[in-house]
């Protein structure tokens, strides 16, 4: 688990969005199903983000791989899920909030550059079935590590901190890391190796962001297609409507 984290290029979003999606219709499941081996803390809901949901929903295959990753960790450490499936409205809120913050700091930058800086940490909001926002697929997860007391390990930056130090391999580039920086490097390597060992890929600009099954995963794993498109948790109303529709076919 002490293998260095490779330095990867940022995604070419135009080409990522062009990858075909062959939806496998895998259901979303809540992370809180796990009685052990996985913790869930819906960060955006806890922060009061408008329309954020009080659960971390994810595809079944993602859930199973998270359990595999968590069980591979050294004794006393566990994965903590901070976010997974994300409503479009939350994606739009996060994008607009970061875009506005960057624009206020650099008011003279052209719109294209502001968008590029924003997309470093927040994907473009999209419900396009051919190119959905990664979190809208239920295939993206934001995770970290916690100790036996439920306290988060030091990863060098906070979750969602929009700085270059949040890049997954940022601390790997230091020539003479301090004792504290060496601990950060070790913690990030633990998370990275556990997650990639379970089949996930990482977004290089975010140490917390991992993917399986969606277009980002296909891009970084060299797959010709994705298997997760946009989805949403099933509501009681939608379930009843489906049952009524089947009866009258």
Tell me the C-alpha distance between 233 and 224, whole Å. Answer: 27
Residue 224, beta-bridge partner list: none
pLDDT at 1: 58
Q: Is 147 annotated as a binding residue?
A: no
Please identify which of the residues 23, 181, 206, 234 carries the catalytic annotation. 206
pLDDT in tens, 85-136: 999 999 999 889 988 988 888 888 888 888 888 888 888 889 999 999 999 9
pLDDT at 45: 96
Tell me the C-alpha distance between 82 and 101, whole Å. Answer: 23
C-alpha torsion sign, points 173, 94, 128, 110 = negative
What residue ranges of the chain have pLDDT lower than 70?
A: 1, 235-239, 241-242, 249
Give the closest residue to 207 by CA, choosing from 218, 217, 215, 195.
195
State the greatest distance between any 2 C-alpha atoms of the chain, in Å, as a whole number: 70
Residue 25: exposed, middle, or buried by beta-carbon count in 10 A (0-12, 13-18, 19+)?
exposed
Contacts for 209 with CB less than 8 Å, ≥ 6 apart: 140, 141, 142, 202, 203
Contacts 24+ apart (CB under 8 A), 172-180: 172/4, 172/5, 172/7, 173/7, 180/154
pLDDT at 239: 66
pLDDT at 206: 96
pLDDT at 145: 98
Q: Is 248 annotated as a binding residue?
A: no
The answer to whether 234 is a known catalytic residue is no
Angle of the 88-105 helix axis to the 111-119 helix axis, nearest 10: 120
pLDDT at 33: 85
Tell me the C-alpha distance between 90 and 93, whole Å. Answer: 5
SS3 197: helix
Residue 142 parent element (H or E): strand 140-146
pLDDT at 237: 65
Tell me the C-alpha distance between 65 and 4, whole Å. Answer: 22
Tell me the C-alpha distance between 201 and 195, whole Å. Answer: 8
Domains of the chain: 13-247 (3.30.1380.10)
pLDDT at 221: 98
pLDDT at 109: 87
The owner of tokens 């980002």 is 216
Question: CA distances (Å), 72 to each of 29, 98, 195, in order?
Answer: 21, 35, 9
In the chain, the N- to C-terminal Cα span, in Å, equals: 55
Residue 58, beta-bridge partner list: 29
């Amino acid at each position: 688990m002490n293998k260095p984290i490779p330095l990867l290029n940022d995604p070419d979003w135009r080409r990522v969005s062009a990858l075909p999606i062959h939806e496998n219709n895998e259901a979303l499941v809540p992370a809180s199903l796990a009685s052990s081996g996985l913790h869930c803390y819906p960060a955006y809901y806890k922060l009061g983000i408008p329309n954020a949901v009080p659960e971390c929903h994810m595809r079944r295959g993602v859930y199973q791989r998270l359990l595999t990753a968590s069980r591979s960790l050294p004794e006393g450490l566990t994965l903590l899920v901070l976010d997974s499936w994300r409503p479009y409205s939350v994606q739009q809120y996060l994008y607009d909030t970061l875009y506005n913050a960057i624009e206020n700091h650099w008011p003279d930058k052209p719109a294209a550059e502001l968008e590029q800086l924003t997309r470093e940490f927040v994907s473009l909001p999209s419900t396009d079935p051919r190119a959905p926002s990664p979190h809208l697929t239920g295939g993206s997860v934001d995770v970290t590590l916690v100790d036996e007391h439920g306290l988060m390990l030091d990863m060098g930056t906070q979750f969602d901190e929009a700085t270059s130090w949040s890049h997954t391999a940022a601390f790997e580039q230091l020539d003479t890391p301090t004792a504290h920086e060496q601990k950060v490097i070790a913690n990030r390597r633990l998370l990275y190796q556990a997650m990639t060992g379970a089949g996930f890929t990482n977004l290089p600009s975010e140490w917390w962001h991992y993917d399986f099954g969606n277009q980002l995963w296909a891009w970084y794993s060299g797959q010709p297609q994705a298997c997760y498109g946009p989805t949403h948790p099933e509501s009681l109303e939608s379930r009843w409507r489906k049952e009524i529709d089947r009866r009258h076919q």
